[in-house]
Structure 1
Amino acid sequence: MVVAAASPLGVIGGPVPLGIGLGNGAGLPTAFAVSTVILLLFAVGFTALTPYVPNAGAFYSYIGKGLGRVTGLGFAFVALISYLALEIGVYGLIGQGAKALVESWGFPQLHWAVWALVAFAVVSVLGHRNIDLSRTVLGVLLIAEVAIVLVLDAVIVGKGGDHGLSTGFASIHTVLSGAPGIALLFAILSFVGFEATAVFRDEARDPDRTIPRATYLSLGLIGVFYAVSTWALLSGWGDDTAVAKAQSTPDTLLAQTTERYLGAVGGHIIQVLFVTSLFACILSFHNIGSRYVFTLAQRSALPSHVGRPHQHHGSPHLASAAVSVVVGVFLIIGVLADLDPVTQLYTWFAGVSTVGIVTLLLATSIAVPLFFARRRREGELTVPASRALVAPSLAVLGLTGVLILILANLPSLVGDSTAIAVGVVALLAATFAAGAALAWQRPQIVVD
């Protein structure tokens, strides 16, 4: 479920072309490899702490264990705004993807916002009724979308690419060229949602064994898939041509590559699966956002009536409605402002989300050794130092470097505007401060 919700085909068709075009070009596969290693180090500490977080909650529960409830609630609001920002941004991708799909079938041209709003309406209804895509549906879509990308990869590699296979990932000069911070931003963004392995602990017979295995397996599979498929995509055109196409038409790079190597039928199939993959991704983030609001309302951090379930469906319907209102308002603002759905709406909101998520990962990695240090002083430490201290500390170093690079390159992602980049950071800082202040004023709020 975690791998399916990560929308692997949606990533190859969305963040990957943007990472190539706006980031470090042919060096993007290395950004995925680096991100995978850092997140695996993070996962070591994350899974070590999981048995001590009984509510199987999100990052803020883990942060609260190590850094206290005030800090934990501050990051709860950072997490909420990060997930909402990503949901808003992905509506741009699905709107443009659906527009290209229906036009390829000969239907009249409609504005991308029409399709984005159709998806928004369906997600809002499903969220109200607590209807999620079943594991069977997610599994079928996952197999289909991964299979066609692997077939595409195999055909490209089998034919030797356009004029040889890409070697940019092995060149330090290429890896560090362009905006490596933006490349890391899109790489890290592509993994968002893997922490849901801990959220599903109540469905596992032996969560203390299953959650670590699922987390490592998810990260490993996703990381290898992204790195290899990005390399194949670059090889399909040659590094220079692929970068040029990613910069001019990022929304159609995957479809063009598929048609070139698998024919028109393959191109149509991948367009359909691209849209369904993004829909599963949006629904997943909508449900995560709704449950954040629902849980925070039940803990008196938000108006309590929002934390009441639906009388018949048992769904967090008011929380879902609140999420829909916020997302809908920003989506309409983006349409009225005539933002490009991919290079502006998605990338700008992805910037907000990624800075927030990386900060959450960093805070969680800091919280892990602090939590276990207290248990060591109390004589209750049963976790090896490699999991309680070494791996989280290495993750802190890696994530700090990633965050610095992202912040340094953030202006180039938001239209070369330093003001907007500063605004993104200020928004997240203000959100954290509001949550921390609320926890300080209301001692009854519990986050862990």
Structure 2
Amino acid sequence: MSALNPAHSAQRPVAQERLHGTLGVAGIVFMVVAASSPLTVVGGAMPVALAIGNGAGLPAAYLLVAVILLLFSVGYSLMSRHVTNAGAFYSYITRGISKPAGLGAAFVALVSYTAIQAAVYGLFGATLSGLLASWGVADIPWWLCALVAMAIVGVLGYRNIDLSVRVLGVLMLCEVAIITIMCVGVLAQGGAEGISLTSFAPATFFSGSPGIAVMFAIASFMGFEATAIYGEEARDSKRTVPVATYVAVILIGVFYAFAAWALVLAYGPTKVVGAAQANTAGLAFAAAETYVGAWAQEVMNILLVTSLFAVLLAFHNAVARYLFSLGRESVISERFGRSHARHGSPHLGSLTQTASALVLLVVFAVAGLDPVSAVFSWMSGLATLGLIALMALTSAGVIVFFRRTRLDTRPWNTVIAPVLGLAGLLFLLVLVVWNFTTLIGGSLLLALIFEAILVLAFVLGVWLAARWRTSRPATYAQLGSFSG
């Protein structure tokens, strides 16, 4: 992402600045729900999960994942009361487990967040290009559409976070509204086979391939963990971050379960698998047209583009803040750890993230990779695996942190919930690794390469930290030290 901090800076710690903003619970929730991209999930992930997963049992998979993430959130939220750092995973793992593990986690986070942004640039470009073509506009290359989005995201990311929140808030509410309208339309008309709760029956959940359904469900939640990243820009981080985390998980889980249930009812529990296999890409859009009208389908097509833009902006902001945190603690050039004088934003991290996204976009375009089946599928799979591994490591870090510091001794908050959350996340991690080839839509060799990239990123961080313990003790001492 950027050059490591030169050795001469190792003995001169950077002045630890903090980011500035006035985010409340609603603002942070907008950011993380936008990152999960409701319309992309309903229009893209759900039909695939219905086709190759457990069919009508998909809604229950979302509820199961929500329960696991709520257990994870108990310790995660409690940790945010004691450590406020834009590095989130990095700082929590550093404080809980060790500095080498924390730096390894930081590198995995940078790879994962950069990968998901690259993935969405591919899907955004293809979606916008296709939409313009359907309107009779000249055929525009997907990468050119992505470049336009990149420029806008770069400008918004450079500015104060409050501007991004306003943009994301409007876009997110629009896509949630159109999905809700579709769901209400299905329920109002009784669906294809009547209203039924069979989707939530254990027998239905365990039919087909429930592991694949759960895997796609957890991928749909990616981005919710960013609540802690915005802690420094919150009005009252010790209250705002925990509340926003719980609200985000509950909203995402319940909403996705509801939308999946409505999609099952739209085609009927006995026929939804066949319908999803026959028309995977257009399943949700066809349901909107059938139960609401042609206008709803057209609106969904437009909002899918804005939904993807919201994801780009959300993850761009996340990466910029990770770079800010690493710069502030002299892991990379200390210039990254200085906020903008007027906007209070991690402006250099934002510029760097724009540059790295541009490089990846050029590579993908020159290589002639398909923006959906290659760029989106590969990169989003890589990111999902990385982020689940980070959440599991964070859960372990939370347990160790409170056991060592005794800052909070409540059994449920510091031991029971985090242990249950860790067990659930390890279960999800095994599912993703086991089905990783399916998730990325590629070969076993490609899956092994992506898994190796994440392992190497972690090992690099561990190796650097271990080396700095003696060669750059001032830098080593600063790792994970900031808490606003």
Q: Say yes or no: TM over 0.5.
A: yes
Whole-Å Cα distance in 2 between the matches of residues 131 and 370 of structure 1? 33
Describe the shift of the 1:75–1:139 C-alpha distance in structure 2 as closer, same or farther (beyond 3 A): same
Describe the shift of the 1:260–1:402 C-alpha distance in structure 2 as closer, same or farther (beyond 3 A): same
Query: Please, which moves more after superposition, 51-60 or 405-414?
Result: 51-60
Q: Select which of 298, 304, 310 maps to 1:280.
A: 310
Aligned letter for 1:435? G
Q: Select which of 148, 154, 161 maps to 2:178.
A: 148
Contact residue 226 and residue 318 of structure 2 kept, 8 A: no
Contact residue 87 and residue 326 of structure 2 kept, 8 A: no
The equivalent residue for 1:34 is 64
State the Cα distance separating 1:290 from its structure 2 match. 1.8
The equivalent residue for 1:356 is 386
The equivalent residue for 1:434 is 460
Describe the shift of the 1:367–1:332 C-alpha distance in structure 2 as closer, same or farther (beyond 3 A): same
Structure 1 unaligned residues grouped into runs of 5+: none
State the Cα distance separating 1:162 from its structure 2 match. 2.2
- Residue 398, structure 1, aligned to residue 402, structure 2: no
The equivalent residue for 1:175 is 205
Contact residue 228 and residue 241 of structure 2 kept, 8 A: yes
Partner of 1:344: helix, strand, or coil?
helix
Describe the shift of the 1:415–1:135 C-alpha distance in structure 2 as closer, same or farther (beyond 3 A): closer
Q: Select which of 196, 200, 215 maps to 2:245.
A: 215
Q: Select which of 376, 389, 408 maps to 2:434.
A: 408
- Residue 122, structure 1, aligned to residue 148, structure 2: no
Whole-Å Cα distance in 2 between the matches of residues 237 and 246 of structure 1? 9
Whole-Å Cα distance in 2 between the matches of residues 26 and 109 of structure 1? 38
State the Cα distance separating 1:267 from its structure 2 match. 1.4
- Residue 25, structure 1, aligned to residue 55, structure 2: yes
The equivalent residue for 2:133 is 103
Report matched runs for 1:156-305 at 5 Å. 156-165=186-195, 169-170=199-200, 172=202, 174-177=204-207, 179-239=209-269, 242-244=272-274, 246-247=276-277, 249-305=279-335
Residues 343-384 of structure 1, C-alpha deviation per residue, up to 9 Å, x if partnerless? 3322211111111111111011111111111124xxxx4341
Query: Please, which moves more after superposition, 110-119 or 427-436?
Result: 110-119
State the Cα distance separating 1:404 from its structure 2 match. 0.7
Whole-Å Cα distance in 2 between the matches of residues 407 and 297 of structure 1? 32
Whole-Å Cα distance in 1 between the matches of residues 193 and 163 of structure 2? 42
Whole-Å Cα distance in 2 between the matches of residues 167 and 39 of structure 1? 24
- Residue 84, structure 1, aligned to residue 114, structure 2: yes
Whole-Å Cα distance in 2 between the matches of residues 413 and 3 of structure 1? 22
The equivalent residue for 1:10 is 40
Aligned letter for 1:212? P
Query: Please, which moves more after superposition, 414-423 or 102-111?
Result: 102-111
Aligned letter for 1:447? G
Describe the shift of the 1:113–1:23 C-alpha distance in structure 2 as closer, same or farther (beyond 3 A): farther
Aligned letter for 1:10? T
Query: Please, which moves more after superposition, 305-314 or 10-19?
Result: 305-314
Whole-Å Cα distance in 1 between the matches of residues 163 and 289 of structure 2? 29
- Residue 71, structure 1, aligned to residue 101, structure 2: yes
Aligned letter for 1:387? N
Partner of 1:160: helix, strand, or coil?
coil
Contact residue 112 and residue 386 of structure 2 kept, 8 A: yes
State the Cα distance separating 1:416 from its structure 2 match. 5.0
Aligned letter for 2:375? L
- Residue 447, structure 1, aligned to residue 480, structure 2: yes
State the Cα distance separating 1:217 from its structure 2 match. 1.4
Describe the shift of the 1:74–1:17 C-alpha distance in structure 2 as closer, same or farther (beyond 3 A): same
Describe the shift of the 1:24–1:344 C-alpha distance in structure 2 as closer, same or farther (beyond 3 A): farther
Aligned letter for 1:386? W
Contact residue 181 and residue 407 of structure 1 kept, 8 A: no
Describe the shift of the 1:126–1:135 C-alpha distance in structure 2 as closer, same or farther (beyond 3 A): closer
Partner of 1:301: helix, strand, or coil?
coil
Contact residue 81 and residue 239 of structure 2 kept, 8 A: no
Aligned letter for 2:219? L
Query: Please, which moves more after superposition, 238-247 or 108-117?
Result: 238-247
Contact residue 191 and residue 268 of structure 2 kept, 8 A: yes
Structure 2 unaligned residues grouped into runs of 5+: 1-29
Query: Please, which moves more after superposition, 298-307 or 288-297?
Result: 298-307
Describe the shift of the 1:79–1:312 C-alpha distance in structure 2 as closer, same or farther (beyond 3 A): same
Describe the shift of the 1:355–1:134 C-alpha distance in structure 2 as closer, same or farther (beyond 3 A): closer
Q: Select which of 377, 384, 391 maps to 2:410.
A: 384
Query: Please, which moves more after superposition, 254-263 or 366-375?
Result: 254-263
Aligned letter for 2:412? S
Contact residue 98 and residue 115 of structure 1 kept, 8 A: yes
Aligned letter for 1:401? F
Whole-Å Cα distance in 2 between the matches of residues 188 and 48 of structure 1? 22
Residues 233-261 of structure 1, C-alpha deviation per residue, up to 9 Å, x if partnerless? 22222356544554465443332222222
Whole-Å Cα distance in 2 between the matches of residues 306 and 205 of structure 1? 23
Contact residue 87 and residue 321 of structure 2 kept, 8 A: no
Query: Please, which moves more after superposition, 213-222 or 191-200?
Result: 191-200
State the Cα distance separating 1:186 from its structure 2 match. 2.6
Aligned letter for 1:422? L
- Residue 370, structure 1, aligned to residue 396, structure 2: no
Query: Percent identity among equivalent residues?
Result: 45
Contact residue 308 and residue 316 of structure 1 kept, 8 A: yes
Residues 46-91 of structure 1, C-alpha deviation per residue, up to 9 Å, x if partnerless? 1122122033541111111110111111101111111111111112
Whole-Å Cα distance in 1 between the matches of residues 445 and 368 of structure 2? 20
Describe the shift of the 1:365–1:169 C-alpha distance in structure 2 as closer, same or farther (beyond 3 A): same
How many pairs does the alignment contain? 444
Q: Select which of 327, 343, 348 maps to 2:373.
A: 343
Describe the shift of the 1:115–1:297 C-alpha distance in structure 2 as closer, same or farther (beyond 3 A): same
Partner of 1:195: helix, strand, or coil?
helix
Contact residue 87 and residue 106 of structure 2 kept, 8 A: no
State the Cα distance separating 1:185 from its structure 2 match. 2.9
Query: Please, which moves more after superposition, 176-185 or 82-91?
Result: 176-185
Whole-Å Cα distance in 2 between the matches of residues 26 and 166 of structure 1? 11
The equivalent residue for 2:11 is none
